[in-house]
Structure 1
Amino acid sequence: MKQISQMSSSERVEAMELLWESFAKEGIDYPSPDWHGRVLAERNEIIESGMATWLSVDELQARLMSR
C-alpha cells in the first residue's frame, strides 16, 4: 500500500471509509476522548447563554468556498 502522503485525496477518503467500515463490522466501540466532552459542554453553555451564532447552509458554503 502506498504511503498515506503519496495517496490522492480520493484514495485517502476511500481508505478512511474502509477503516470505519471495518470498525462497524467488528463492533469495535472506540470511546471518545475526554476532551470531546469538555468541548461539547463549552458549546452547550454558549448555546444556553444565548450567545451562540448560527449560519445558514448557504452562508456556510460561501464561507468555505472563500477559503
Structure 2
Amino acid sequence: MTTAEKLRAMEILWADLTRKAESFESPAWHDAVLRERDQRVAEGKEAYVSWEDAKRDLRERCQ
C-alpha cells in the first residue's frame, strides 16, 4: 500500500470506530497524556492543530 492508501484506510477505520465510541472505554494512560498535553498548551509549549489541517499536512508530506 502507498502511504496515501494507508492514510485513507486509517480514516475509514477511525470513522467506523467513532460511530461506536460509546461501546469502548479509553485506556487509563490516555487521560494522563491528554492532561499533559493540555498543560503544555497552557504553558505555550505546544499548540493544537485542527484535524483537517493535520490531514492536509500529512497528505502534502506523502506526495
TM-score, length-scaled by structure 1: 0.43
TM-score, length-scaled by structure 2: 0.44
Bigger Rg, structure 1 or 2: 1
**Which structure shows the higher helix fraction?**
2
Q: With a CA cutoff of 8 Å and minimum separation of 6, indicate the structure with the bigger relative contact order.
A: 2
